[in-house]
Amino acid sequence: MQRAETSTLDAQKKTENPKIIKLLDISVDENQMIYVNWPTEKKDLCLTALCESLKLVSTYQKSEIIKPKPNIIDFITGKKNA
């Protein structure tokens, strides 16, 4: 039997309000030079966060609906694209 404190509803409640700490300070100057400041005691955590954010940015795809182009064979056979 499942106890109340281990239910999925309580787990969702705990993850909805995470405690967020600012780790990195990223700046760009007029010559497009990038400056990153991070605490030296959390260097490994900051590098992991930078790698994860780079992975998210590189795999981002716009939510774009591409309609199929009409095909003459489908038109002749009477097939409809929904």
d(CA 35, CA 25): 8
List the one residue out of 24, 67, 80, 15 whose CA is nearest residue 47: 24
User: pLDDT confidence of 1, banded at 50, 70, 90?
Assistant: very low
Q: What's this model's pTM, rounded to 2 decimal places?
A: 0.47
User: Domain locations in the chain?
Assistant: 21-51
Report which of residues 29 and 68 the model is more confident about.
29
